[in-house]
Amino acid sequence: MASDIRNLADEEVMQLVQGGNPRAFELLYDRHGGAAFSLAYRMVGNRVTAEDITQEAFLSIWRSRTRYDQARGSVRTWVLGIVHNRAIDALRRGMVHDRRRETLDGVEERHEARERTDVEAARREEARGVRDALDTLPEEQRRTIELAYFGGFSHSQIAEMLEMPIGTVKGRMRLGLEKMRKQLTGVVLPGELA
């Protein structure tokens, strides 16, 4: 039975999760827990806080599982969106600023994931493609996007940090995403780029 579940697509697994199936939820975690933890770590720079955020996010997913709507995006996008929101909340509550400074580079805490499956290898390739797309942006656009998305800073905080008008910050975010969107065609895994 377990092997049958493992063969299901994410959206099918999610249907079982919505029915309250803990085994299906475990599989959901196995598929996306690594990406969730990695995103949280990238944002807060600390393994302990990243674990807290990932745990909070997955328990929130379990408790609000009926709210997933396939029409609004893939399961992976939904999961990572929830992790991102939790991490931003943590950053803005000031929970992690001090810890983040302690391990700003985070080098000593990084442990690269093992490549165990073809899917993981494909995701690594996808990650490289997205990083390449980010790298094609003008420096000021890339920096603005990274400060907002990964740093959890608001547009007004970024404007203050970079000493530029808020309108300029917003414009760079929009232009940067537009350019990324064009660069990403063919990079992101099938079904993930609308």
Helix residue ranges, H only, 45-74: 47-63
Of 14 and 37, which CB lies nearer to another protein in the complex structure?
37
Of 8 and 179, which CB lies nearer to another protein in the complex structure?
179
Of 5 and 188, which CB lies nearer to another protein in the complex structure?
188
Q: Which two tokens stand for residue 146?
A: 């990274």
Nearest distance from C-beta of residue 3 to another protein, angstroms: 19
Nearest distance from C-beta of residue 2 to another protein, angstroms: 14
Of 77 and 102, which CB lies nearer to another protein in the complex structure?
77
Q: Compute the half-sphere exposure of residue 136: CA atoms within 13 Å on the CB side of its CA.
A: 14
Q: Among 34, 22, 24, which residue's Cα sits nearest to residue 4? A: 24
Q: Which two tokens stand for residue 24?
A: 């299906």
Of 9 and 119, which CB lies nearer to another protein in the complex structure?
119
Nearest distance from C-beta of residue 151 to another protein, angstroms: 10
- What is the H or E stretch that residue 169 is in? helix 166-184
Nearest distance from C-beta of residue 148 to another protein, angstroms: 4
Distance from C-alpha of 150 to C-alpha of 88, rounded to nearest angstrom: 8
Return phi, psi of residue 58, to 5°. -70, -35
Nearest distance from C-beta of residue 78 to another protein, angstroms: 10
